[in-house]
Amino acid sequence: METTSLSRSVDGEFAPETTYLNTSTCGLLPRRSVDAVKELAEAIAAGRRAGSGDFEAVEAARAGFARLVGVGADRVATGSSVSVHVGLVAASLPSGAEIVAPEGEFSSVVSPFAVRGDLRVRYAPLDGLADAVRPGTALVAFSAVQSADGKVVDLEAVHAAAAAHGARMLLDATQAAGWLPLDAGAYDYTVTGGFKFLLCPRGTSFLTVTEEAQRTLPPVFAAWVASDDPRNSTYGPVERLSPIARRYDEPPAFLSYHGAEHSLALLGEVGIDAVHTHVTGLAARMRAGLAGLGHEAVPGESAIVAVPGLGGREPELARAGVVVANRAGSLRAAFHLYNTEADVDRALDVLSG
């Protein structure tokens, strides 16, 4: 690592065997998280425990995520996928409600609205998303950072437009949380998959809900964990749902959350500001190097670098041990705290050849 303090924080946590530039697809698990998952799996296999995991790990993950995005843990629900969280929001809207979303938005953000059939989903260019919000718009649903090309939305402009027209906002932070400083409390809902920049095992996701928005969000997937006393809510209908965001919890994938507790703790130790400085610096180096090779990347200050038309070179890079992605015809590289300048230079060296 070029940043000495960051290097000390992650020393011994990662040992990639490739030049791994694919966090936008899946983040690398820290060693501490792998150890926690293995310990639980071995205990279950040996019959050394009465259950399949500990709710203490779920609560630690909830609190760790809350700290990273600037809200109280009482505003965070835990789950397993972004689409389920978005489905809750879709279920809360009246027939005929208008949803505005960016063109080419990730499927999980828009499909739960589209499949209802009685909602009006309108798409706008990403750069014109704020201008597309109008009187009568019920919800603006969008990703803070776009999956296909890493573009960062003008959050202030969209927020101002939604406020001016009384629209609620659903922010997908899956490609942002973990490297981009965020204030989840500024949005009615945020949804975040944990297995990318949050470095959690797949099967972890987080929903934040403002207190005001919670009044109209139905807990349609309510189960025993939606109670403040889940161990005594296992038979018959739950008599009293939790008054906080916990009412939207899904039964946890314990193996995933035992790992997530430690991944989120690591990010908390490093600090999102430090990660942001590190990854945007590496991405800028990559963009400059690409320009020197005659390839123009999507401009911006994102941790994700996309080069339109270059996606076909992904297999060549893979054969050279450089892991990237081909998304919508673009070559996509994504940087995180385990990447170095040497990783950037290795990718550029292969592309130059």
* Identical fold, 4-30+271-352 and 55-269: no
Strands 137-143 and 330-334, sheet pairing? unpaired
The confidence score (pLDDT) of residue 1 equals 43
What number is the average pLDDT over the span 178-193? 98
HSE-CB for 186 with a 13 A CA cutoff: 17
Question: Tokens in use for 40?
Answer: 């639980």
Q: Does domain 4-30+271-352 have CATH number 3.30.1490.100?
A: no
- pLDDT of residue 7 exceeding 70: no
Answer whether CATH 3.40.640.10 is correct for domain 55-269: yes
* Distance in angstroms (rounded) separating the CA atoms of residues 4 and 181: 21
Q: How much is the average pLDDT of 148-170? A: 97
Rounded average pLDDT over 76-99 = 97
- The per-residue pLDDT for 11 is 84
Instruction: State the pLDDT at residue 299.
Output: 96
Task: State the average pLDDT over residues 156-181.
Answer: 98
Domains of the chain by residue range: 4-30+271-352, 55-269
Determine the pLDDT at residue 24: 98
Instruction: With a cut of 50, say whether residue 88 has pLDDT above it.
Output: yes
Closest CA to 320 of 24, 26, 16, 19: 19
**Six token digits for residue 270:** 């490093």
Pairing mode, strands 168-172 and 189-193: parallel
pLDDT, tens digit, 9 for 90 and up, residues 17-29: 999 999 999 999 9
Mapped onto helix, strand or coil, the DSSP state of residue 214 is helix
pLDDT tens-place string over residues 333-344: 999 999 999 999
- Structure confidence at residue 2 as a pLDDT band (50, 70, 90): very low
Quickly list DSSP for 229-284.
SGGG--SSS-SSB-SSGGGGPPPP-HHHHHHHHHHHHHHHHH-HHHHHHHHHHHHH
Mean pLDDT of the chain: 96
Question: What pLDDT was estimated at residue 93?
Answer: 97
Is the pLDDT score of 200 beyond 80? yes
Q: Record the pTM.
A: 0.95
- Model pLDDT for residues 243-300, shown as the tens digit of each residue: 999 999 999 999 999 999 999 999 999 999 999 999 999 999 999 999 999 999 999 9
